[in-house]
Amino acid sequence: MRLLTLLLALFIFTGPLPGQSILTVTDGSGAQGSSTSLSILLDNGDGEVQGWSFGACHDTAALTLETIELGSTAAIVNNGDEPAFLALNTEIGGFTMGVVINLFGAATLPLGADYELVRPSYQILGAAGSSTTVDLCSTLGSPPVSITIVVEGSSLAPATESGTMTTVTAVSFIRSDSNGDGYTDLADGIWTLRYLFLGGVVPPCVDSADFNGSGAVDTADAVGTFLYLLLEGPAPSAPFPGCGNVGLPQDCAVSNCP
């Protein structure tokens, strides 16, 4: 009975079980022409990871690879630094990544989940309503880079999950019109404060309430509205004073454009 209890506890609290490592590409969405970043994550269920390699393939008719950045985990994996050996190579139809964390084995990636290895950004080419995938692949490079994690000197093949990029219709809006009445005035700052702190109504276009364009609605947006209106503070971020959109992710259910 004690053994069964111990096994259940390990299953619940230690994340992926040994032999269940998974490389996953996250999903994303954006308007046609916008740029959206995805993440490639590792759930490590095999042991102390010393390195990894893989390719990430996409349809060049649907996506253009723009940038590749180290993920938050990979950036500090070598005792707070980048990996000792790092190869990020752009290929036609994708990119490859190869890593050795520490050449002397002095740093490894322990068992755990949601390790962010890399963050590629793509321009979306597809029409609204279409979707495409970014797949982990072993066909890129010369010689082709395999999908591998190295655990205690052994090469293992993790499971993989593709990510889906969806093209959606962008809603045009004017920044700083929280209540959606077509004007920027004191009522908009008050609306934002009530929404944030008093259980007020969600702005019809949440993006419009994001005065400074930070990607989140917070106290700074209400303060920015008041400063702009009363103390000659900075104007709202674009789109303002005209109508437009800034790509996605977007949180704007109803346009406030005239």
Per-residue pLDDT reduced to its tens digit, 111-170: 999 999 999 999 999 988 899 999 999 999 999 999 999 999 999 999 999 999 999 877
Rounded average pLDDT over 200-219: 90
Closest CA to 139 of 63, 58, 22, 61: 58
Instruction: Give the strand pairing for 85-91 and 40-44.
Output: unpaired
CB atoms within 10 A of CB 13: 7
Calpha distance 44→112 (Å, rounded): 5
The stretches of the chain forming alpha helices (DSSP H) are 2-13, 186-197, 206-209, 219-230
- When pLDDT is cut at 50, 70 and 90, the band that residue 29 belongs to is confident
Chain region(s) in the chain for CATH 1.10.1330.10:
170-258
Rounded average pLDDT over 11-16: 38
Per-residue pLDDT reduced to its tens digit, 52-91: 999 999 999 999 999 999 999 999 999 999 999 999 999 9
**Residue 1 reports pLDDT greater than 70:** no
Inter-residue contact 128 to 247 (CB < 8 Å): no
Chain region(s) in the chain for CATH 2.60.40.680:
17-167
Inter-residue contact 120 to 25 (CB < 8 Å): no
Q: Cα angle at 31 between 28 and 32, to 5 degrees? A: 115
Which amino acid type is present at position 163? G
- Homologous superfamily (CATH) for 170-258: Dockerin domain (1.10.1330.10)
pLDDT of 249 reads 56
> Which tokens belong to 20?
């269940």
Q: Which has more pLDDT, 93 or 216?
A: 93
CATH number given to 17-167? 2.60.40.680
Calpha distance 166→27 (Å, rounded): 8
